[in-house]
Every structure is written in structure tokens, then in C-alpha cells.
Chain A
């Protein structure tokens, strides 16, 4: 069973569209994250949710809105997509973060044309 799964794996869309990426974890973790990896391969944290509550928001544009319907899911909705949003988005989960490991999904490659 995949521990952290994201859908879709690839997403190609036009500028101005609204799209969502879904993430589910079956590890029973209480914390979930979204990371963005740009074309230069830098991995940056975007959001962190703990027990469905937003705890980290790293100066991400308002067009990005995470939603956590329950502890096992953290979806990412993006409005009015821009060319600069093209990247690979990774979902991750952990039980806390200080001294435990995080599990990452396989990523969603978003291409905005």
C-alpha cells in the first residue's frame, strides 16, 4: 500500500484555470504538508496542517488554498493558474517533525501553458 498518494501524477492546464491536487496518507499521521519543487530543484514548504488545522503558511499567494477534510487528506486548490506555478508539488506527512521521519508522495508535475 502506498503510504502517501497524490493524484493526479501529471497535470497540464492553461493559464487562468483552476485546478486541484489531492493527497491522502494511510499512516495515521497527524501532520501533513505541501512542498513545491521548482525548475531549479529547490524544495520549499508551502503549508503544514496539524489535525486539520493550518499551522504553517509560507507566504504563498492567496490563489493557493489548502483544504483538509480530515487528518488523512490534504488537498491543494489553485485558482487562476499562472505560468510560474509550473512545478512539481509534493505532499508529505509525519507524526510531528522534530525527531520523526516525513513520508513524501511521488509528486504531481503541474505544467501551465
Chain B
């Protein structure tokens, strides 16, 4: 399985930007980088994904290093509702044309009021 490395936990203050790092040095050319988050007592929720270029959506931005061996999820203004475990995942082929998401330990983000 494709491996990613994230800090166990991070803290942020409300309304400040948050940069969540992820290392994926064994990424292959066809692996997409996905970010999901899991709020307490809920199922994982899609945040963003990308291949090579930086990506923006209404929830966050994804900055991908030029060599693709690392990426950073950026929450522009953290709110208390952003407190969650954030997972950085590589989607990798698992037989035929099928892909699967393999979750790691993730980063527990705490947002202080």
C-alpha cells in the first residue's frame, strides 16, 4: 500500500490559516493525492484531491510539491467545525482498473477559540 506520513496532531487558533503537511515519498506517477477528514462520531468526508497542480475548492487548497513527494492541505481560516482527523491518502490501483483508498493514522487538528 502507498504510504503517507503525517504529524499525529496539530493545533490552530480560530480564524487563522492551517497548513497540514503530508509526505508521500514513494508516490508513483499515476497516484492521486486525496485528503479526507473525519469529524467526531461521523464518517470520513472528502476534502480535496489532486495529481500535480495545486487545487482549490470551497473547503480548502491543496499545494503539491513539484516532485510530488509531499503536499500540504491549507485551511484558509480555521473554524471550530474544522476540528477533525485529517487523512492524506494516495489512491492506488488495486487490481485491474480498480483503485482503493488506504487510510493512515491521520492528523488530529485541534482548533482553539
Contacts and interface: CB of A to CB of B under 8 A. Distances in A.
B107 interface: no
Which of B45, B51, B99 lies at the interface centre, i.e. has the most chain A CB atoms within 10 A of its CB?
B99
B103 A98 contact: no
Range, interface on chain A: 20 to 34
Contact of A45 (B42, B49, B51, B101): B101
A97 B42 contact: no
A97 B85 CA distance: 21
Contacts of B51: 99
Given A98-B32, A99-B51, A102-B46, A56 B100 contact: yes
Interface of A: 4, 31, 33, 35, 41-45, 48, 50, 55-56, 90, 92, 96-99, 101-107
Given A55-B98, A101-B49, 13 more contacts: A42-B105, A43-B38, A48-B100, A55-B96, A56-B95, A56-B98, A92-B44, A97-B98, A98-B99, A102-B46, A104-B45, A105-B43, A106-B42
